[in-house]
Amino acid sequence: MQLGYRILDHTADVGLEARGSDLAELFSNAARGMFAIIGCPDTIRPSKELLVKADADNLENLLVNWLSELLYLSATQGILFCRFDIAQIDQQHISAKALGEPIDQSRHELYTEIKAVTYHDLKVVKADQIWVARVLFDV
């Protein structure tokens, strides 16, 4: 899986599987995958950066909180993100720089709105030295 994520079929919504050799790569790929559902990543430039933090009591919840925080920032500030530099991550905390740019309807190719990150079929596991995450979005 070269891209580090793939989009999974679901009748009403959209699933995502992300992979990474460590947690930082996993969380970065999951975020890239989520924004690739919203719009075409090739059209987004990393011209603006925001500091993003999330906490949770376990890794699965941390993934949901991280993605939800990015979605919230994107929705309220009108920014599309394309790059995520993870500064620090453990089982309960993440802090990162999210890079992207304000939505430009004339240049960005937008696909759909993600309403939320759900807990349905949520998984974060390590298998054969590779971290794998599965998450379902309400679109």
Q: Which residues bind another protein (CB under 8 A)?
A: 7-15, 38-39, 61, 65, 68, 72, 75-76, 78, 103, 105, 109-113, 115-122, 136, 138-139
Closer by beta carbon to another protein, 79 or else 89: 79
Which candidate, 8, 30, 31, 9, places its Cα nearest to that of 18?
Answer: 30
Q: Compute how many other C-beta atoms are within 10 angstroms of the C-beta atom of residue 105.
A: 6
CA distance 63 to 117: 9
What single-letter DSSP state applies at residue 112?
-
Closer by beta carbon to another protein, 21 or else 115: 115
Burial class (CB in 10 A: 0-12, 13-18, 19+), 11: exposed
Closer by beta carbon to another protein, 22 or else 92: 92
Give Rg (Cα) of the chain.
14
Min separation Cβ 115 and another protein, Å:
4
Closer by beta carbon to another protein, 96 or else 135: 135
Count Cα atoms within 13 angstroms, Cβ side, for 52.
29
